[in-house]
Amino acid sequence: MKIFIELPFCGKITILEVENNFTIEKVKLMIQEMENFPMNRQILNFQGNEITDNNQTLSDLNIQNESTINVYLLMTQR
């Protein structure tokens, strides 16, 4: 399935090809590889809620085909 990764701070939307069993950690790694944004500085947000557990899967969060995840960057590491 595909999900949209929206980067509001730079006005960009990227499409990722993923599976429902992908963890948030894996999605963050994909974003790091595509956009060169360090995983530990990414804040992912889905439907107005921050995703805080990197071990959750897309399925756990009810993220489906063509869902949009917003990605924000911390200026300093967590």
pLDDT digits (tens, 9 = 90+) for 23-38: 999 999 999 999 999 9
Domains, the chain, with CATH or none:
2-70 (3.10.20.90)
Helix (H, G, I), strand (E, B) or coil at 25: helix
Average pLDDT, the chain: 95
| pTM score of the predicted model | 0.92
Antiparallel, parallel or unpaired: β 42-46 and 68-73? antiparallel
> Each residue of 42-75: pLDDT tens digit?
999 999 999 999 999 999 999 999 999 999 999 8
Whether residue 78 has pLDDT greater than 60: no
User: Is the C-alpha dihedral spanning 31, 32, 34, 35 positive or negative?
Assistant: positive
> Each residue of 10-22: pLDDT tens digit?
899 999 999 999 9
Strands (E), 1-78: 2-7, 12-17, 42-46, 49-51, 68-73
DSSP-derived secondary structure letter, 41: G
